[in-house]
Amino acid sequence: MKEREGNQETINYSLIVKRNRIDHKLSVTANGGGHAQAQAEDIARALRADSFALLYEETEPSDVSELFRKLAYSDFSRTDCVLWEGKFTNNTPAFYVLKTRYYVRRIIRDYLDIGNDVYVKMTCGKKECINPFHNSYKNMKAAKTTGADWNLALAFASQGVPVSEIAKALKVHRSTIYRILNHERFSSRSSS
């Protein structure tokens, strides 16, 4: 069925994602076949699906379908909170697909392909808000540093600056700097 999204005509598709011989059908709204295919790939990656199939048929939209539609069209205001109306697990917006629990903020991170080693922290203070503009993306779960601070710490360390001086410059504890350096050493060893 064709509809309108802003100034463009949209088409509704069905996406079947599969993992471990379990499948789930989602509604996908797109501007055409190429846009639908790109969305299907992004959704399958975010859900860690083994495979997917895109069908030219309409499926009833769900909370999860609506989340992916809003992400595909960047349908979020920078200022207004977008409150999750689905389920919560551990006081965090979540949903269940493919017999797996997914936390909404983590799915947004994975859909946007920000990186698996990035921790998502909400900045607006509302536990039910899922607006990606209200998230802060940090390198470690307990990170007190930003990505720029992380790179600066590594640059200082490569120049031989003592850990205590780096910690003082970045206004964090020495143990935070040690974690950054150890994480970097481990990452470089495992990638070689």
CATH number of the domain that 175 lies in? 1.10.10
Owning domain of residue 56: 2-138
Residue 180: what pLDDT?
Answer: 80
Tell me, yes or no, whether 128 and 57 share the same domain: yes
For the packed helices 33-46 and 63-72, what is the interaxial angle rounded to 10 degrees?
A: 120
Tell me, yes or no, whether 12 and 101 share the same domain: yes
Residue in 100, 106, 99, 102 with CA at minimum distance from that of residue 121? 106
Tell me, yes or no, whether 71 and 166 share the same domain: no
* Mean pLDDT of each 10-residue bin along the chain, 192 residues long: 59 94 94 91 94 92 93 90 93 94 92 80 90 82 63 82 86 82 64 48
Tell me, yes or no, whether 55 and 127 share the same domain: yes
Tell me, yes or no, whether 30 and 76 share the same domain: yes
What is the total count of domains within the chain?
2
